[in-house]
A and B are shown apart, each in its own frame.
Chain A
Amino acid sequence: MAKVKMPKKAPHIDMTPMVDTFCVVLTFLMLTATMRQPEPASVDTPFSISEKPTPDFNAMTFLISTDDKIFLNFDNGPDTLLAFRPKVLQEMGRRYNIEFTDQELREFQKYPSSMGVPMQHMKTFLGTNDPNERKALQVGIPIDSTDNQLANWIVAIRTVNPNVQTCIRADAMTGFPIVKKTLDILQDRNVNRFNLVTSLEATKINLEEIQQ
């Protein structure tokens, strides 16, 4: 029998299968990832037992921060080619006599998170790339009865996309009057069905325990 000759080199591990596995996991994560978009105001949603997921499209979301500012986000529709966002902005521009350039409309179309910019500053907001300047312009959508831009946004969105659903995302500590005001504005425009965004929390109740 031939004598087994031990190699003098340090044992070498072949990493190739590991790289393969990691590649698969990485691809999976990259494809399923829904990135958390940075929101203009951080909001901790309250808990509920509801298990219905948020709609992926056809939704307008009102983000109400703890300091009573309202931000609005809506999507481009079930197909990005429908491009609802620039159409809504054009509609809003007509109401406020602002002409938006193609560049600005494109910028608005791909803006990923909520916006709380008054129409007067919308052109400046879309023109700049400086995050600090943008942040300074996010002062919340005006809802005063003299300048109720939120109502106009609602009408414009619903004209462009009649199937839109209303979602309300507010912090648990947000005061109720501002939420009530938002609901009132929506109800004045004949929106009576709302989706409140919550986080899931399981609750179990024991009937016998309660009856005792």
Chain B
Amino acid sequence: MKKIRIKTSYKFLLVMGAVYLLLAVFNFGYFKIALSSFFSMLERIVPVMFLVFGVMVLVNLFFTEKRMRKHLGEGSGVKGWLYVIFTGIIISGPPYVLYPLLGELKEKGMKDSLLAVFLFNRNVKIPFIPVMIFYFGWGFAVVLSLYIVLFSVLNGLLVGALVKKRG
């Protein structure tokens, strides 16, 4: 018999569905509150998701993985630091997808400090900025993004030095 494999994300959704079903049976009042709050949250998010989609298309159109790889190698200098900040912001994807790629780049000579800078800048995600603005406002999005970029350099220098020191 063929074994059906369900992705973890779908398992999570199924579990949540089951929890809500149980809630509907045992505490219908609470179920109604939670579900209506879920739908009102969804109503607020859906329009922003269309914007996220549009920005994602633009990013995928103009920034390819191949183009990024070219500029991150050893001896890339100041340009490499700037490029790695830019790449960290632009490239999206879950860590389990990015780690193998970064491992490969490390083997090819990418410095620890640059790896740290890349990973720190993952926090600035242009396609998701509309959602951040929606919840926290323009000021917050700008200030936080600027601090992340500034601190990413310090972070890279510190991580690079500490890894080297503990050689």
Q: Is the pairing of A and B real? A: no
